[in-house]
Homo-oligomer: A and B are copies of this chain.
Amino acid sequence: MGSRREVVHKVNFSDPRSFASSFKSDLKETFFPDDPFRQFKNQPPLGRAKKAVQYFFPVFEWLPKYNFRLFQYDLLSGITISSLAIPQGISYAKLASLPPIIGLYSSFVPPLIYAVFGSSKDLAVGTVAAASLLLSSIIGGVAPPKDDPTLYLHLMFTATFFTGVFQTALGIFRLGILVEFLSHSTITGFIGGTATIICLQQLKGLFGLKHFTSKTDVISVIHAIFKNRSEWRWESTVIGVVFLMFLLLTKSLRNKRPDLFWVSAMAPMVTVVVGCLFAYFAHGEHGIQIVGHLSKGLNPLSIKDLRFDSKYLSATLSAGIITGILALSEGIAIGRSFAVMRNDQIDGNKEMIAFGLMNVVGSFTSCYLTTGPFSKTAVNNNAGCKTAMSNIVMSLCMMLTLLFLAPLFSYTPLVALSAIIMSAMLGLIEYDKAYRYLKVDKFDFCICMTAFLGVAFISMDIGLLMSTGLSIVRALLYMARPATSKLGIIPGSAMYRDIEQYPSASGTQGILILQLGSPIYFANSSYIRERISRWIEDERGNLNSKSGELEHLILDIGGVTSIDMTGIGMLTEVHLSMRKKGIKMIIVNPRREVLEKLMLSSFIDAIGQESVFLSIEAAVEACDFNFNESEQNDWSRH
């Protein structure tokens, strides 16, 4: 320690930044944390224009460099994902209570839009089960599809339109922050709960039932199955179980032999084809229900079908917004996790705009909600896709299907679709993740289970909201009760660390060193005051047994990232109360934002610049010096 005494390092008390500059930097951190315009710096005007086009149309980033070798890969992966897109499209459209052809339409137009605006190389566009069911449960609540299928269809387009507008707006106004409020635990629980109720719903197809409930909760579904047990058909069940076993087997094969991924990718298509043949030869007997009429032709325009009547507006709006957030959080998370594997980066706000535009255009062309589903994206990546061209290939395959092959799929048995949905859903219930939450963080486990049970037993939107609410309450609790710790010096070093974490660390006589963390503001300043006074009482209790008195309180606020007026008021109060007790208060290593406010509010003037140090070491040294001095004074007076 002694060797450093000659050089005194001071806290930087230079004038605070102007309001404009600190406000600008705050705004930038809030809305442009990824600094998207960095690439435009130091560029000539022409280069800037080119960069701007590439920024708004990511397709121009890869298209100029595109070649035949890359196309070979994209062709293969595009065909592979379209073989998945056909059965999934039909299945999820059934799940959304929509005509099956809508599912095929939805894999034609949106992938084209995404290929132009999207920045992920792996993402394969398609419909997803959870959002399909969620849309259907909200819209079906105000306009049951059985009563008026056309109205229901049009409202679904409208909800998709709202989803698109909302997603685009989030992207343009850089409000990705909203999506961040869905925590991993909420999403895990929500997807698990949704998968559970979707699986249960498929029992309808598996048992060949004709009547069922439109509700989604576990109890209604089980009740409906037992109520309609007279309609059970064993033929349907046998076929369904065989298909399911086949699909699950190919999945487990993929897990063991990743190079055989194409077996499981093709399996749903095989199931559909075999099912069609079977149904064709069974002539609709033995209770095997089929999808029914599928007409040839490309997507008809649906822009005139959007309905904005006030009667349904709140349902379509809320369905649009909730599914929009959900679809974004799934799509962006998936795009990002594949980008990490490529050592690549995707821009969340750009992705939002791409998703938004594809849903807006989709709603004009008879498509319903699409996003980047995990299964399709994983298959796309496995099949070796290189660019978004694979989405274009898939789109062209779908076009050919719609133009020529669609009627063939009208023989698809419902039970085959149920088997496909069930096998997809069973993989989405992540027991292991929930167990990991239970092991590491009980509160995250509660958040996850709230979403799971809420979705399974109440309804999908309520479950999602409850779980998000609980996450926010937990975050507020985090804020309201930040950890404080007493520091001591680790013997043989100059490091001050938490004495509970490092029991070898020891305190210094007459000095209490506390570390405060996280922002200090209204929600936690009462707590911090109470906690400081408790530390002081404890310290005094300890000292009473020994000789000596507490003379200095050192607050290490290096971890305090910001402070508000209530927090400054609290520090002032602590300072006054310490002065009454004869204890000198010292501040160590304030960050810039905090120091600026402490200076502006004249707190620093109140405690004196000489009470602010850059390191605990320097502060302790100064205290020791004072201490010795006062002892010497005592001595000289005798």
Name the one of B471, B497, B498, B526 contacting A180, with C-beta atoms under 8 angstroms. B526
| Chain B residues with CB below 8 A from A533, complex form | 34, 345
A524 contacts the other chain (CB 8 A): yes
A580 contacts the other chain (CB 8 A): yes
| Chain B residues with CB below 8 A from A531, complex form | 29, 33
A402 contacts the other chain (CB 8 A): no
| Chain B residues with CB below 8 A from A469, complex form | none
Q: How far is the CA of A429 from the CA of B327 in the complex (A)?
A: 49
| Chain B residues with CB below 8 A from A337, complex form | 573
Chain B residue at minimum C-beta to C-beta distance from A33: B530
A494 contacts the other chain (CB 8 A): yes
A4 contacts the other chain (CB 8 A): yes
A475 with B479, Cβ < 8 A, contacts A441-B564, A518-B517, A576-B340 known: yes
Contact (Cβ within 8 A) A573 B482: no
Shortest distance between the CB of A81 and any CB in chain B (Å)? 25
- Restricting to A599-638, which residues have a CB under 8 Å from any CB of B? 600-601, 614-615
Q: How far is the CA of A33 from the CA of B472 in the complex (A)?
A: 22
Name the one of B12, B493, B524, B597 contacting A441, with C-beta atoms under 8 angstroms. B597
A560 contacts the other chain (CB 8 A): yes
- Restricting to A513-558, which residues have a CB under 8 Å from any CB of B? 517-519, 521-527, 530-531, 533-534, 537, 558
Name the one of B26, B33, B183, B477 contacting A566, with C-beta atoms under 8 angstroms. B183
Kindly report how many copies of this chain are found in the complex they form together.
Answer: 2
Contact (Cβ within 8 A) A480 B180: yes
A450 contacts the other chain (CB 8 A): no
Contact (Cβ within 8 A) B519 A600: no
A442 contacts the other chain (CB 8 A): yes
Q: How far is the CA of A498 from the CA of B559 in the complex (A)?
A: 12
Mark the stretch among A53-61, A284-292, A366-374, A585-593 that contacts chain B.
A585-593
Shortest distance between the CB of A512 and any CB in chain B (Å)? 16
Contact (Cβ within 8 A) B495 A183: no
- Restricting to A1-22, which residues have a CB under 8 Å from any CB of B? 4, 7, 9, 12, 19
Q: How far is the CA of A564 from the CA of B591 in the complex (A)?
A: 25
Q: How far is the CA of A35 from the CA of B534 in the complex (A)?
A: 7
Contact (Cβ within 8 A) B601 A522: no
Chain B residue at minimum C-beta to C-beta distance from A570: B184
Q: How far is the CA of A181 from the CA of B440 in the complex (A)?
A: 29
A181 with B523, Cβ < 8 A, contacts A30-B481, A573-B337, A593-B483 known: yes
A193 contacts the other chain (CB 8 A): no
| Chain B residues with CB below 8 A from A120, complex form | none
A492 contacts the other chain (CB 8 A): yes
Name the one of B485, B495, B525, B562 contacting A9, with C-beta atoms under 8 angstroms. B495
Contact (Cβ within 8 A) B485 A591: yes
| Chain B residues with CB below 8 A from A7, complex form | 492-493
| Chain B residues with CB below 8 A from A522, complex form | 180-186, 471, 475
Name the one of B30, B494, B601 contacting A494, with C-beta atoms under 8 angstroms. B494
Q: How far is the CA of A440 from the CA of B597 in the complex (A)?
A: 6
Name the one of B176, B492, B559 contacting A517, with C-beta atoms under 8 angstroms. B559
Name the one of B12, B437, B561, B566 contacting A501, with C-beta atoms under 8 angstroms. B12
Shortest distance between the CB of A483 and any CB in chain B (Å)? 4
A38 contacts the other chain (CB 8 A): yes
| Chain B residues with CB below 8 A from A576, complex form | 340-341
Contact (Cβ within 8 A) B521 A183: yes
Contact (Cβ within 8 A) B527 A565: no
10 A-B pairs besides A185-B565, A559-B559 with CB distance below 8 A are A12-B502, A33-B530, A176-B526, A180-B522, A440-B565, A441-B565, A475-B521, A475-B523, A482-B561, A518-B519
| Contact sample, A vs B, 8 pairs, CB 8 Å cutoff | A7-B492, A9-B493, A35-B534, A180-B523, A183-B565, A436-B601, A440-B600, A490-B614
5 nearest CB pairs, A to B: A559-B559, A183-B522, A343-B580, A517-B561, A184-B566
